[in-house]
Structure 1
């Protein structure tokens, strides 16, 4: 540390990295680690970085230090830090764990400067324990309303800065890597509606409808579309969009929990990027509710992020960064478990596909858009939150690329036990254009 103490920041870093690591670190105390010509150049600008990592020797400590500027990277694009994350990932083999003796020496060196409670970014939300203490039990209607508002009710203009004109906050579907984001999002909406096979005059329920892109697209086909969301900001945007298009007779978006929708006998239901908010323990009841809302031979299209590998003992989980900064109470399940829940709710699962690479491409487009509109994004939500969003989207892109997470579409049919030997139940083979 500073003031002639026995251990420098560079020496501390040496406990965690092999001396041959091709990385450069310059610290506030004048110490340096690694070659000056390394392509990745870190800067520890404040003692608070050390205290953050000591208090939380996990991703939360690193995220706090980064968001507050105590840990920085030379030349980084805060809107799109993907190149830095990719470079750090490539250096994982150089990491090492300090021995208990070295860890004790390191802690003693830091604490010799006194106990310090480092600051917390204003953008950080309460921990899961703190939310429960406030009576916000995960995935109750009250808690879901609060957590959805935390994520979405910031600024519609901020989301427009990176989502683009489609305002579609889910994975696009690309014909190839050169397809534009707008065309790929339109392609995704087209694919979902084609899979559902709805005709003009039939009824669609879009659960977690976002800013209304699916509702609008369906109404343009003559489908009667109802969208529900827990975000007031989203609903206001969507209904203004519906009015501009003159689609009020066919489309509506409500601020309503899916468990409170009074209508039923829908011809189709889509759930696009909604299940991440439901909670794995509630999957079965969620799909049972979808089954109840559909008419016989109605179709369900569920599009959701999944984990590539089951958690220990089959338990779902979410890292603390996402829980504190992005999606409180967010939860991911494995694709096999999800398909079993759909089946056990009474559906016939007729098709599923993994669109993992498509989400990585989508996120790269979003990061590029955020970079292009950085000044306005900071104006809308502040520097800290804009910085957090760049980190979140870049990290997700990397996670999709390395197969840590995936995204699946499941198409299911509510069976009619009459049988329909004439083939009107559903065609023998997939009927949509891929």
Structure 2
């Protein structure tokens, strides 16, 4: 699948290096990624409408931490570390539930949905205990596109720059994605994929279409230009999306008509596919009648859980739930793309530990934009990219 690309290949050699194989296999590097990337960036964790009532909560894993996300009575959706402030037991020991308070099952320390400590055995005999200071440790929360985004950093990145900036790169302006009204769409289908591959391989796969003609026959039938191998998010410097084929009437597995079109999309968004990657773990794909959103949750250096939602107009989902409308052809197209992509990543993962891949691989010109992702990755870990080191060495030798 494709997400973004440079207007022109980077200058220089036709082939550019990838990180070495160890970057995809080393548990210590994965631990550093958890600490420096996933625990410091904004992560899209769940749909806001999955917490419909006050007291409804779910637990999610972000980096190495387990987080409670709960709809409060007073403050909307909040998020906390799933750690009791008394002796550290998990407060929520199942994946989801609904309760009036959040109560630890060990010593019954009890917290309001808004986080403060409200009860504990013999608490009245300890008047010096600051109930707010000993409340649950909070996590930064934002809602966008109908999803809950959390950041574990003490000082989170600016959401407008870190998240909405990715939208501007791919759509030209945030208002363009607003046309889809994603926050008002409803989920018609969700599929979860347990991918036995490093999370970076999945991102790299989504960022290029050099593989599309080889493994995506259904997708290239619907969007023929993908068969050329270019991630055509832009043309001549202008955001244009990827056009449906002349005989194609919908973004479906056989190119047949889909469902009711999202009414506010602009003329240049009709019969077009757009895609965005929001680093480090979200892919947003838009077509005229639905939106597909992927959320990645790295589990280890060689395993990643990917949750994919298909979002439609609420009236469409009402018909789906009533059994009067079949959207299986719309869902099947990207489901096949997902399975094809993830299989390719799983066949790639074992080779990352091969001696033949010790120094890494290569990016052809239509993949040169992946170097930008690699540069971001190196910078996030506080490392210098090998090309940067070589350029510095060359400059020093010439001085």
TM-score normalised according to structure 1 size:
0.26
Bigger-Rg structure (1/2): 1
- Relative to total residues, which structure has the larger strand share, 1 or 2? 2
Task: Using CA pairs under 8 Å that are at least 6 residues apart, name the structure with larger relative contact order, 1 or 2.
Answer: 2
